[in-house]
Chain A
């Protein structure tokens, strides 16, 4: 039988989600800054991101969690974590990550794209109640 690693316990998953949630919420706010009105849809979009990361293949999901924690740690010398930095510092740190090689830049692009997608998907759901089109 192919060995499948045991899933994290519910408590461990909740702890990881609680650790990531403020960072992801701030990333959502920053990537939809143009469109944002207050906090509307930010919590729901953040939960979408958490669900997406949890649903990834383990070798990708673990990497995303690790890089997110590394990203937050990289904000410490500037007074972080990320969500506690002022807007100009957050923009600088995101720009810096975009310019990094390989998976680090991919990490930044992932949140820019998925943050925007998740926020607009939640908006659309709120508008239509059911995300719009129903395939006949």
Chain B
């Protein structure tokens, strides 16, 4: 077994872990950042391709929750984590969301006023920008529909750098930003290394053990003065449960359930060179968000479904079809449990009646939007139902059946180790320090007490920056 010694061990290199590693290394700490997945360039594979799914997604992108209605979910598994595979969309949350967390969970320093300096830092350092190259045809359709219905809409900013990067710019994932900063400040990055268990002794964590993959692989042991867990909302509670911690660990998983629809127009709406559409309808936020999805040929074929007549003819004009989505705030709850003999978790999520109701309402809104934008045909997201060709038929979308007849997915998972001041209801304190431990922190999406209703990466990074400031001020 190879043994490594460091002052701070950070487990997971996504937006939480990479931020912690960079800030602590820049503050002079001796940091080792461990990542289960490989260390790859941002352009090692085309976006949303099979190659990217093989390289950067956990289990090739095929993960699902158990429950009456299954929810498929994605996790990044590479240096940079989810920031390497998401659409790089940036939001500040609604101030009331933060105020509600402070009020309901007793979280200190949780307000827009308290977090504003951290949001501003992120926006400046990670080049949060609107698109410089204009809106895609699909985004313009969202604008057209929203304007026709007098609904509020906006262009979502992205982590994107344009200066010196050519007309299309370059996404600012963690492998492009915080990980290089961490390295420049002296942090070591150990990729291809899965941590399997924390080494606990009383109120302290003394390190971790795991396994490095590859020809030079084998068992590894880390000895550390402090451990920061940032492996994401599924893997972080899984590791704690495997290490013997149970209380409020993996009991409160929340997510943003999403349903997609393929819509056919008379004119081309689909130019994959623009990437994911950046327009969102604001009218129903934070409960319901409407927007556009990646719409390559395989994704369109997927969402056309088996019930469309003559898919071949539709696919010959695939550039006339776009994929759009409804995402809702998510009222259901889930759990994460370790399975005997297996290194992957059992994830359960109960998509509640309120979630189905919101998704149904959102689908009707999305249908109205798309017809107002000129759509001729919407492919029903309900298995076995025919396409919808008239706004008058949108009512059928309000009645979503539970079970396997609808394809629900998510890319936003959180709240599995919620922060809060009451140890009986939370896993960490207001700053991510694990209850009952002197030197163990959680710094990732697991901390959010509930669904924020917006793309969460910016929020997670802001909270983590705040928490690191607290760690440093506390010594």
Contacts and interface: CB of A to CB of B under 8 A. Distances in A.
A105 B384 CA distance: 13
Interface in A33-80: 34-35, 48, 51-52, 55-60
A55 B59 contact: yes
Contact of B196 (A2, A31, A105, A122): A2
B47 A57 contact: no
Interface string B54-86: 100001101110000010000000000000000
Interface residues of B, number: 53
Given A58-B344, A105-B404, A120-B301, A125 B311 contact: no
B342 A60 contact: no
A125 B46 CA distance: 10
Contacts of B219: 1
A122 B310 CA distance: 20
Given A1-B209, A56-B60, A136 B170 contact: yes
Given A121-B49, A121-B50, A136-B171, A31 B346 contact: no
| Chain A contact residues: helix, strand, loop or mixed | helix
B45 to A, nearest CB: 8
Interface string B247-283: 0000000000000000000000000110100000000
A113 interface: yes
A131 B51 contact: yes
Interface residues of A, number: 40
A17 to B, nearest CB: 15
Nearest to A3: B341
Contacts of B171: 135-136
B298 A130 contact: no
A58 B342 contact: yes
B353 interface: no
A100 to B, nearest CB: 10
A3 B197 CA distance: 11
Contacts of A34: 310-312
Nearest to B49: A131
A112 B272 contact: no
B344 A55 contact: no
Nearest to B338: A2
B312 A116 contact: no
A132 B296 contact: yes
A135 B404 CA distance: 33
13 contacts: A2-B196, A3-B341, A4-B342, A35-B301, A59-B346, A60-B63, A102-B404, A117-B301, A120-B301, A120-B302, A123-B297, A134-B43, A134-B47
Given A2-B343, A131-B48, 15 more contacts: A4-B341, A5-B342, A55-B54, A58-B342, A60-B63, A102-B404, A106-B404, A109-B383, A116-B298, A116-B306, A117-B298, A121-B49, A131-B45, A133-B272, A136-B170
